[in-house]
Amino acid sequence: MSDMRTPLNRARGNGSAKTGTGHFWIQRLTALANLPLSLFFVASLVALTGTDYMTAHGYLANPLVAILLLMLVLSGVWHMCIGMQVIIEDYVHGPSAKFFSLILNNFFSAAIALICLYAVLKISLYSQPI
């Protein structure tokens, strides 16, 4: 069986899109980061079950908790965006539908990230509960 790649492509080791390996590794790294961050989030929810509003607000206003939640939001949204991009590229076949789906995926991911970041920062930066 003959190799269909050009000599330059064999020397560089790039695939047809030249970005697949980077997306693969980012997807794996964000998945790895999401494991402990998600466990922290679930443990926080369990620990806050049954507490009053002031206690929960005080816990979320802790800078360490806020930083971990911000990391979870960023890692989770990035992971979601890349995963949806792969699904769109694999299963949406029309070029214009694929193009618009990828744009919507990026805007949706950015909107989710901004909303979550705003919520975490608002709680953590303002010590007085609303």
26-68: pLDDT as tens digits: 999 999 999 999 999 999 999 999 999 999 999 999 999 999 9
**77 Cβ contact partners less than 8 Å away, ≥ 6 residues apart:** 109, 112, 113, 116
In the predicted model, is pLDDT for residue 123 greater than 70?
Answer: yes
When computed from its CA atoms, the radius of gyration of the chain, rounded to whole angstroms, is: 20
73-99: pLDDT as tens digits: 999 999 999 999 999 999 999 999 999
Nearest residue to 30 via CA among 72, 84, 61: 72
Domain around 109: 20-125
41: domain CATH number is 1.20.1300.10
Contact 77, 112 (CB under 8 A): yes
**Domain total of the chain:** 1
Angle at CA of residue 60, ends 57 and 66, nearest 5°: 155
Provide the whole-model pTM. 0.80
Q: Is residue 3 part of a domain?
A: no
pLDDT band per the 50, 70, 90 thresholds, residue 11: low
